[in-house]
Amino acid sequence: MIGDLLRLDGRTIVVAGAGGGGIGTAVCTAAAELGANVVGLDAEAAALAAAEAAVPGPFHGVIVDVRRKDEVDAAFADAIAAFGSVDGLVHVVGGQRPHHWQPADDFPLADLDDVLDLNLRSALLTSQAAARAMTTAGQGGSIVHIASVAAFFAAPYSLAYSAAKAALISLTRTTAAEWGPRDIRVNAVATGTIRTPHSRGNDTADQARDAVLALGRRGTPRELAGAVMFLLSDLAGFVTGQALTVDGGSTIRPSYLGPDNVPVFMEDGDLRRRLLQDQPRRTS
């Protein structure tokens, strides 16, 4: 049955960045609902405790700084000791701090290092540890990186973050090519704007942002987790080295369209009214 290919029964999925009630926690919960054993990695004990409370299945939390190789290697050894194997990795850790928003002219190299460490170095370290565990067991597996649509565009005042996410997609493709013969698949999910506890926004800003999304709203962690589950599962058994864009349609919508999907330069009032007449509108 096709539905059986989505199941993760008995597999151990490591989620780096499991706490916080956002994307990582949603991924942990979804994986457990599909039958997986979940190992949550996070730097904060309180965040891990909240994730464990949300997960409806076996959960093992490990406090770790995923920018440090020794701690990452120890965390994966802990995961194997807890559940016997590592079958999948979802690397969620990333982002940037407010002070990392800087003009390119004098972007501090220390801030560049910080952002690359958080978004790229950490992903390489967890990927290497996962690949070693899968190779040793001779079983293959699936690795999924949470990237961003910022990798595809110019990102003014966010030089380091967009560069790190672009590099993360390159890392995804290179490791997919190298590790494919071992039956290890590596993919990325390039996210658009997702409403998480750390990025709630405000109503006015949300309305302006939503106007440029084809679906007219921000995404949820649960929706993003659904894409991750596909890539972890056997439904994606022939998918590797890909960046799946999950962005509500922001990357397909040209900048010359107004909120009504009519080009802003269209000055013919009769034509504009004809295009818009009787169009169904979102009611909620």
Look at residues 93, 89, 165, 78 and name the one whose alpha carbon lies nearest to residue 131.
89
Q: Enumerate the active-site residues.
A: 161
Identify which has the larger pLDDT, 249 or 238.
238
Q: Residue 264's pLDDT is what?
A: 82
Distance CA 115, CA 192 (A): 19
Side-chain-side CA neighbours of 210 within 13 Å: the count stands at 15
Q: How confident is the model at residue 201 (pLDDT cuts 50, 70, 90)?
A: low
Identify which has the larger pLDDT, 215 or 232.
232
Q: How confident is the model at residue 280 (pLDDT cuts 50, 70, 90)?
A: low
Please state, for a pLDDT cut of 70, what percent of the chain lies above it. 92
**pLDDT at 205 exceeding the cut of 90:** no
What pLDDT digit, counting tens, does each position of 121-130 carry?
Answer: 999 999 999 9
Predicted structure pTM score: 0.91
Look at residues 68, 31, 63 and name the one whose alpha carbon lies nearest to residue 49.
63
The average pLDDT across 259-265 equals 82
CB-based contacts of 160, cutoff 8 Å, min separation 6: 96, 100, 107, 111, 112, 114, 115, 116
What pLDDT digit, counting tens, does each position of 25-63 carry?
Answer: 999 999 999 999 999 999 999 999 999 999 999 999 999
User: What is the enclosing helix (H) or strand (E) of 145?
Assistant: strand 141-148
The mean predicted confidence, pLDDT, of the chain is 92
CB-based contacts of 26, cutoff 8 Å, min separation 6: 220, 221, 222, 224, 225
Q: Residue 203's pLDDT is what?
A: 47
The average pLDDT across 228-241 equals 98
Distance CA 146, CA 149 (A): 10
The average pLDDT across 209-225 equals 83
| Domains of the chain and CATH, by start | 2-257 (3.40.50.720)
**pLDDT at 145 exceeding the cut of 60:** yes
**pLDDT at 165 exceeding the cut of 50:** yes
Q: How confident is the model at residue 283 (pLDDT cuts 50, 70, 90)?
A: low
Say if CB 55 and CB 110 are below 8 A apart: no
